[in-house]
Amino acid sequence: MHFVRLDHVNIRTQRLAQLRQFYVEALGLMEGKRPDFSFPGAWLYLGAEPIIHLIEASEAPEPPTNPQLQHFAIRGEGLGDFLSHLRSLGIAYRIGVVPGFGTYQVNIQDPDGNCLHLDFAAHEQADISNFAPPV
């Protein structure tokens, strides 16, 4: 037996429209076909694969006191263009560099406060200053 890849991340939210808009605008994911479940939601695709499943919750999930899932990550290309895109949308980010690998991690939060980072190869060139939009 072996596994071949992570299939998707499932996110419960009371802000379905906001999260859908965030992932479509910020990451360029596309809303696509979703089974006819008895509850509202959206499947967001990266190419042919639905990598983020959103489920609308009637009540906000209880925040865990000690969350075990800290973040999820997506590999990207085009670091400079992506950072410009986030700045144009007013989305704050913090850059990390993986020691010994040089991979750039662009750390952001969605409107519900879920953490994710977008990973870019060490050879990509860009201004890696952190960004916080003016308040």
Where in the chain are all domains bearing CATH 3.10.180.10?
A: 1-59, 70-135
Which band of pLDDT confidence, cut at 50, 70 and 90, is reported for residue 126? very high
3-class SS of residue 60: coil
The CATH number of the domain covering residues in 1-59: 3.10.180.10
pLDDT, tens digit, 9 for 90 and up, residues 83-104 = 999 999 999 999 999 999 999 9
pLDDT, tens digit, 9 for 90 and up, residues 108-122 = 999 988 899 999 999
The CATH number of the domain covering residues in 70-135: 3.10.180.10
Which band of pLDDT confidence, cut at 50, 70 and 90, is reported for residue 1? confident
> 106 near 86, Cβ under 8 Å?
yes
Q: What is the pLDDT of residue 59?
A: 79
Closest CA to 40 of 8, 7, 13: 13
Sheet holding 72-75, edge to edge: 72-75, 115-120, 104-109, 94-97
